[in-house]
Every structure is written in C-alpha cells, then in structure tokens.
C-alpha cells in the first residue's frame, strides 16, 4: 500500500506520519517549501524511501507520491500569469 498525503488541521508539527492510515498528514498554513522539506525527511529518513533530488517525492516502493493540490493554489496562478 502506497503512502498517501493529505491535509489536516490541528497537527503538532508541519507534517506527521500516521502508520495506521499509511499516510502523511500536512498542516494547513505553512510554506510549500517547508512542507516539502518535512515530507521529504519523513519519507527518506523515517520510511526509507529513495532520495530524489529535485524530483517528485517517492514512496518507499519507488512510486511517485503526489502532494495535495491544495498546497499549490498560488504557484498555479503564478505560472498561468
């Protein structure tokens, strides 16, 4: 079962690994850059996923892990403009 990433409220940290749901919960209201760093750390350090420099996030099985679209509303608008 692949790792799933979802947004959540009331987290103690920017990103929290939930082994029961095989998912990483991301707190709302943080910079995408910070979220990415936290999620990457959890994936590679805690879960043993392959490190991909500058590439997409990877599950420990090597499959691509997508971040919630909710994280990027500003980026999408900036690229369109």
Going through 1-81 in order, the beta strands assigned E by DSSP cover: 4-8, 15-18, 23-27, 57-58, 64-65
In the complex with Zn ion, which residue's Cβ is closer, 27 or 39?
39
Q: Total residues at the site for Zn ion (CB under 5 A)? A: 4
Out of 41, 63, 66, 70, the only residue in the binding site for Zn ion (CB under 5 A) is 63
CB of 26 to Zn ion, least distance (A): 18
The full DSSP string for 61-73 is: TS-EEPPPGGG-H
CB of 76 to Zn ion, least distance (A): 26
Decide: 46 and 17 in contact? Cβ < 8 Å.
yes
Decide: 24 and 3 in contact? Cβ < 8 Å.
yes
2 binds Zn ion (CB under 5 A): yes
61 binds Zn ion (CB under 5 A): yes
- Give contact residues for Zn ion (rule: CB under 5 A): 2, 59, 61, 63
């Amino acid at each position: 079962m692949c790792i799933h990433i979802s947004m959540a409220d009331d987290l103690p940290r920017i990103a929290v690994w939930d082994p029961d749901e095989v998912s990483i919960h991301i707190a709302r209201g943080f910079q995408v850059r910070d979220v990415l760093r936290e999620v990457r750390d959890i994936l590679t350090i805690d879960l043993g996923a392959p490190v991909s420099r500058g590439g997409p996030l990877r599950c420990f099985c090597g499959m691509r892990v997508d971040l919630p679209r909710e994280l990027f509303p500003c980026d999408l608008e900036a690229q369109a403009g």
